[in-house]
Amino acid sequence: MYTAHILVCGGTGCLSQKSEKIIEEFNKEIKKQGITGCVKVVKTGCFGFCGAGPIVKILPDNTLYVYVKDGDAAEILSWRRWIPDRIKVGTN
């Protein structure tokens, strides 16, 4: 069961700003950090803020990131406050 979901906008505006690349980066970084069983990346429809894309939303804490660019995935995942302490990295 996933403890967090990373929602990446897949609307036309965000796709034109390379949101597919951001999805790939999140998946690579999640694998690198050994948290594949905890976090799932989901491509969504438009969030409605096309001028601020690409947009990433983290659940369960409802953090919204705008103007996400290449290389931001590692920094966003570094917070990991939405992953319970009881989950040990690399055991999932």
> Is residue 53 in a domain?
yes
Of the candidates 26, 48, 46, which has an alpha carbon nearest to the alpha carbon of residue 36?
26
Q: For residue range 25-47, what is the model confidence (pLDDT) as tens digits?
A: 999 999 998 888 889 999 999 99
Q: How confident is the model at residue 79 (pLDDT cuts 50, 70, 90)?
A: confident
> Is residue 90 in a domain?
no
Please give the average per-residue pLDDT across 9-35, as a whole number: 93
Q: Which residue has the tokens 């429809």?
A: 45
Of the candidates 88, 89, 87, 63, which has an alpha carbon nearest to the alpha carbon of residue 3?
87
> Is residue 58 in a domain?
yes
User: Domain containing 45 — which CATH number?
Assistant: 3.40.30.10
* Residue range(s) defining the domain that contains residue 39: 4-79
pTM (2 d.p.): 0.84
Please give the average per-residue pLDDT across 15-24, as a whole number: 95
Q: What is the pLDDT of residue 3?
A: 85
Portion of the chain with pLDDT greater than 90, in percent: 53
Q: How many domains does the chain have?
A: 1
